[in-house]
Amino acid sequence: MKQMTLYFVTSVAGLTVCGLLVLRHACRTAPLMPPSYDPPAPLQRNRERGNRCQERSRPACRTGGTPSATANRRLMGILRREELKQRPWEGRN
């Protein structure tokens, strides 16, 4: 009977120590002050960034339906820069 009591006391003491260690870890890793701002959702930011990029690269069309020469040069420059970013000479794509 004394052995069973010893097991019970040891298990209760062990669980108490584990609980205190978990509580100590939670207190140390908790932020001191909650953030005072609500950052925008990352998906919304990416969607806005994509819309801006598409608006920049869209050719400006005249009434005849063909892009102007300056808009065409600007678009070709943008496309060329994007192509160079992908490094086609390395052959990884």
pLDDT per position in the chain (93 positions), as tens? 788 999 999 999 999 999 999 999 998 988 776 666 666 555 555 666 666 666 666 555 555 556 677 778 888 888 888 888 887 667 665
CA distance 75 to 64: 18
* Residue 78, number of CB atoms within 10 A of its CB: 13
**pLDDT at residue 55, as a whole number:** 67
Count of residues making up the chain: 93
CA distance 82 to 55: 15
pTM across the whole model? 0.35
CA distance 11 to 20: 14
Can you tell me whether residue 67 is helix, strand or coil? strand
CA distance 11 to 8: 5
